[in-house]
Structure 1
Amino acid sequence: MTRLGYSEEMRRWRVEKHREKNRLHNARPRDETYITAGSKAEGLTCPLESDFDLLIVLNGVICVDAGINLHTIPDDIDVFRMDTRVYPGHCILLQDRPAHKRWKVIRNSLCDGGYGAILLSSSLFLDECSASTPYPNIVNHERAGLSRPGTLGGVLHVNSVLALRCHCPGIFHRLTARPRHWPSAVIVLKVMSFGDYLTPVGFKGSEHEHMEWRICFNAGETELVNNLNGTHAQVYVMLKMILKDVLRHCKKEITSYVIKNIVLWQAESNPQDEFNARIFFRWLHDGLRELKTAIVTKQLSYYMIPERNLMAASGLQDKQQH
């Protein structure tokens, strides 16, 4: 794995370069904040080895959980209240305090929720986003789920997702209270500092799917992966390689995100000093065993919000499970 470019030093170097790129880009006055996500942010792929995943967060908008005092939020911020009484890890957004100046994509995605409530539709938001271009000189392709694929310069494949910043401290408080071997309290606090986001996608099959938003922690999860030790990071890479090459017939149903969550649970449940090169294959087999269990049982808890089942709407058929 080291000779293939997955050494600890190379991974750290890639991570720092992408962080620096984000810092330089976001230092300029902009209406959006760009966050490199996925394997690029984790330092686990070369520049053209895989697609470039990008989270584009709209500035000037925040979504808050119940109990948050609006007086602590500046008046020029567009505020939506999160109703989390839907499938775990999702919410519905109700307009709480509109800003004097707001995004066109926000204005065009509002709809009447009845009884005087104004809701922000994830489906309308996604349609509005599809018409915009995240980069100049990018060639857009057909939308894939909530992602807007495109090609930059004819060689770099970019998957961009527009998102809203949100604040739901209860999720982080439950994370800090969990008994665990990893990560340390210092790392958990750093993960919390990155905050959370909402992406325009509801729970598949839900009655209100077109209105629901999914809570995600892209930057925080990247920080967690970046704090895996070298051996455990290589286990993660190998599991993704197996998924890509051996399980490619069901790659739409079993994504690398499933692998990431298996690895994070594996790290939390075991002492870090047990992840060493001498027993690399033990942890690889353990990860494969957990993946098989997730496929057969259609059950895998989301690391950040354990109540959310990542396999609940995977679409796996019986023949794929066996």
Structure 2
Amino acid sequence: MAEGGIGPTGSGSEINLIHSGPSLSQASQQAVFVQNTGAGELLVMDQNENLSLEICSIMTKLGYGEVIRRRRVEKYKEFNRLITKGNDHFFLKTAGSKAEGLTCFLENDFDFLLVMKGAICVESGINIHTIPENIERFRMRTCVYPGYCTLIQEGTRVRNNCSEIIDPARCHNGFGYILLSSCLWVDNIKRGPLNWGITGKQHERARPSIPATFREIAHTDFVVGLSCQCPSILHKWAARPREWPHSNIVQKVVSLGAYVTPVGFKKSEYNHMEWRICFNTGEAELVNSLNDTQAKVYVILKLILKEIIKPNNKEITSYVLKNIILWQAEKNPQTKFHARSLFHWLNDGLKELKTAIENRKLDYYMMPERNLMEDCGLTDALQRTSWIADITEMMEEGPRVVLRLEKIRKAIVASPETMLWFSKNKVELEMLVLELFNRVMRCYNKFRNEGTQCYYGNWMMDWDVIMAIQRRIDELNRMVKQRMQLENSSSTQDIFVRILH
């Protein structure tokens, strides 16, 4: 594309870029640069709707369309099942943008939630004796700050696979109770237990997560938490009047339950003992139930956050944007979310983000009593003022804001034929890589669960498929490299890495 990617390279002003080999129609190109000269609100609205249609099309070619989203989600769900099947200690839950199918393989970090198999926590009112005796049981005690709790041990200690994690995190509170410390939990994990089949270079802890890097290209965040039974919270969420999500999705989210992760409220005196209640798998289902336009608005907002707002210390995160999108979906008729309305909803999302920053207030979608902006560290008044001014400027720009986003700008500049060719090969390469990972895990599980004799009996068939996938991956890499050389596009970065970003 353009600017060192696949396709023609442009330079100079934005107008020169747009006319150097556009993918957009001539009318839509002009709409990007239309100024409010009194030509009429209806004309501008029509131009914005046409541009919305074409930006939606470009977003699909960039790998954010509905079909590829669904395929990614299924591949990661299969990966979760295979990893979980081969591990005695935890269930693996892919989280974040990967679980939502909204990023290419190497585009963002991999977020993984590891849920301990031998322990559970429950809210007040649940009969603890309904839980098997070989499971460690903890009672949730809610904190002053909504969405957080402490965990009190119920019953006698249980010796199981979780003991090496749980034992060092137990603390006596001086009143006869044993509490589970979130701080000691993460420190203990950092010292070693994540080596249960997880390799890679580990980094310093980042609150609840243990970051790691694999082969210098894949960045991961591991969080080890516990399953949580809190039906009162989920039923309260489910009882809200709404058009979206559909009732079957609501029931599925309720059935998926919740988790607690080892992080306390920053301002709390006892944050080292506190745990945060979260709904990772349920939220992934909600995002997966968004329609094509809603998902693309979410992606563009995330690109704006990353490339324009650029928070240095995660004062604003993509999680804030996700909640804005979920509230947007629940509060508005679904018939209003269509390809022609993309820029309308993008502007609405920016307005909600601006309000959240101004007021330092955004209700958590699953628990509205929790304010997501209260614990985000957004205390610098000058920084807040700067971001508010930036967002106001973007809202006034209208559709032109997409030209600030490198990936979309490159796609606009690229020739349509080149863009389609690259998109096709990128999608195929990503699906092959995900399938390769799952095939290798299936082979590993066969060896682990069925024994050496059975494993080698099926080895040649599995190996042939794996090698066929690898050969096709190598072939695609060569094809893209040759195309780049023909179009005089130079780069020192690995072709595989560049394609899958």
Q: Distance in 2 between matches of 1:18 and 1:173?
A: 28
Normalised by the length of structure 2, the TM-score is 0.63
The aligned residue for residue 146 of structure 2 is: 88
Q: Which residue of 1 aligns with 2:50?
A: none
Matches of 1:54 and 1:196 in 2, distance apart?
15
Q: What's the offset of the Cα at 1:193?
A: 1.7
Q: If the length of structure 1 is used for normalisation, what is the TM-score?
A: 0.97
1:209 maps to 271
Q: Find out whether 1:321 has 2:377 as its counterpart.
A: no
- CA 1:199–1:7 in 2, change beyond 3 Å: closer, same or farther? same
Listed as ranges, the matches of 1:44-83 within 5 Å are 44-83=102-141
Q: Residue 192 of structure 1: which of 248, 254, 258 is its match? A: 254
* 1:147 lines up with 2:205 in the alignment: no
Q: CA deviation at 1:86?
A: 2.5
Shift of 1:94: 0.6
1:53 match: secondary structure: strand
Quick one: which amino acid aligns to residue 259 of structure 1? L
Name the SS of the counterpart of 1:95 in structure 2: strand
| Deviation, structure 1 residue 277 | 0.6
CA displacement, residues 31-82 of structure 1 (integer Å, 9 cap, x when unaligned)? 1100000001100111111111000011110000001011211111100000
Amino acid at match of 1:55: L
CA–CA distance in structure 1, aligned partners of residues 282 and 370 of structure 2: 17
> 3-state SS of the aligned residue for 1:203?
coil
8 A Cα contact 2:305 2:311, kept in partner: no
- Per the alignment, residue 37 of structure 1 pairs with 95
Matched, 1:127 2:127: no
| Alignment correspondent of 1:283 | 345
Query: Which of 104, 107, 112 in structure 1 is aligned with 2:164?
Result: 104
List gaps (5 residues or longer) in structure 2.
1-58, 386-501
The corresponding residue for 1:165 is 227
User: Which stretch shows the higher mean deviation, 83-92 or 136-145?
Assistant: 136-145
Structure 1: unaligned runs, 5 residues or longer: none
Query: How far 1:251 sits from its partner (Å)?
Result: 5.7
- After the TM superposition, which of the residue ranges 98-107 and 7-16 deviates more from structure 2? 98-107
1:244 aligned partner: 306
The worse-fitting range, judged by mean Cα deviation, of 271-280 and 242-251 is 242-251
Please tell me the root mean square deviation across aligned C-alpha atoms, in Å.
1.3
State the Cα distance separating 1:13 from its structure 2 match.
0.9
Structure-1 separation of matches of 2:314 and 2:143: 28
User: In 2, are the aligned partners of 1:225 and 1:264 still within 8 Å (CA)?
Assistant: yes
Report runs of 4+ in structure 1 exceeding 4 Å deviation. Answer: none
Structure 2 residue 362 is the aligned partner of structure 1 residue 300:
yes
Deviation larger for 19-28 or 251-260 = 19-28
Deviations 1:218-247 (A, max 9, x none): 111000000000110000000000000111
Q: CA shift at 1:97, angstroms? A: 2.0
Does structure 1 conserve the Cα–Cα contact (< 8 Å) formed by 2:93 and 2:281? yes
2:376 counterpart letter in structure 1: S
Which SS does the other structure have where 1:86 is aligned?
A: coil
The residue type paired with residue 133 of structure 2 is D
Asked if 1 retains the 8 angstrom alpha-carbon contact of 2:81 and 2:92, the reply is no
Aligned partners of 1:137 and 1:153 also within 8 Å: no
2:4 aligns with none
Q: Does 1:13 align with 2:75?
A: no
In the alignment of these two chains, the number of paired residues is 322
CA deviations on 1:13-46 (whole Å, 9 max, x unpaired) are 1111111111222223521100000001100111
Residue identity in the other structure for 2:180? L
* 1:22 to 1:249, Cα distance in 2 relative to 1, 3 A: closer
Question: Any conservation in 1 of the 2:183–2:263 contact (CA below 8 Å)?
Answer: yes
Higher helix share goes to which structure? 2
Change in 2 beyond 3 A, CA 1:43/1:251:
farther
Whether the 8 Å CA contact 1:200–1:214 is kept in 2: the answer is yes
Structure number, greater radius of gyration: 2
SS of residue in 1 equivalent to 2:221: strand
User: Does the CA-based 8 Å contact 1:90-1:203 persist in structure 2?
Assistant: yes
1:108 alignment partner, SS class:
helix
Secondary structure of the 1:80 match is strand
Q: Mean Cα displacement is larger for which, 101-110 or 25-34?
A: 25-34
Higher relative contact order (CA 8 A, sep 6+): 2
